[in-house]
Chain A
């Protein structure tokens, strides 16, 4: 079952612009993670935000978490062509197995030079 759902499904922007992707989920979580996947490659972990945190930063990445709305957003500032990839959110359920991360279908980000 898909717990997280990313929005939009696809996003195309110009280099230098900011990109915002959203993730909604259905059940309570321990943490939420964002991953990046280049075409035909494995996923790379970007950032993990725990249920008691509201915002986290890592370089040009900013993640927010609103547990009351069961949603998260990933902001990439000053985007570069190399940021072109698919971005996935994944949730770790609370009250269930910590090993059963559930991934959304992803947002395909295209950054045009």
Chain B
């Protein structure tokens, strides 16, 4: 069953804590993305990766970090420097830039 898997579905962060959101794809896509969605808002780009071992900042990268050590995986770490982390996080992939995105089912992050 090809697609993108995000885990966990729900995540709670304590103050001062770093948390990592998982994103795995088996679509053999080169490009992967992380978006943040706040209630009633569109998606804002956090980071994207065009290819393994390469990634670039999006529009709201402060307080986040990523890695791309394998083609299939693009984990996002929400660091303690992100002061307002409560949001719905969406991972996506595409065959190449500018083409349609395939999305995971999202992770809801809340602060305790």
Main SS class of interface, B:
strand
CA distance A91 to B100 in the complex (A): 11
Q: Does A25 contact B (CB under 8 A)?
A: no
CA distance A26 to B45 in the complex (A): 18
Also in contact, A92 and B98, with CB within 8 A (given A42-B106, A43-B90, A105-B42): yes
Q: Does A97 contact B (CB under 8 A)?
A: yes
**Taking the nearest CB of chain B, how far is it from the CB of A45, in angstroms?**
4
CA distance A1 to B44 in the complex (A): 8
Q: Does A101 contact B (CB under 8 A)?
A: yes
B42/A2 in contact, CB under 8 A: yes
Q: Does A30 contact B (CB under 8 A)?
A: yes
- Chain A residues near B (Cβ < 8 Å): 1-2, 4, 30-31, 33, 35, 40-45, 48, 88, 90, 92, 97-106
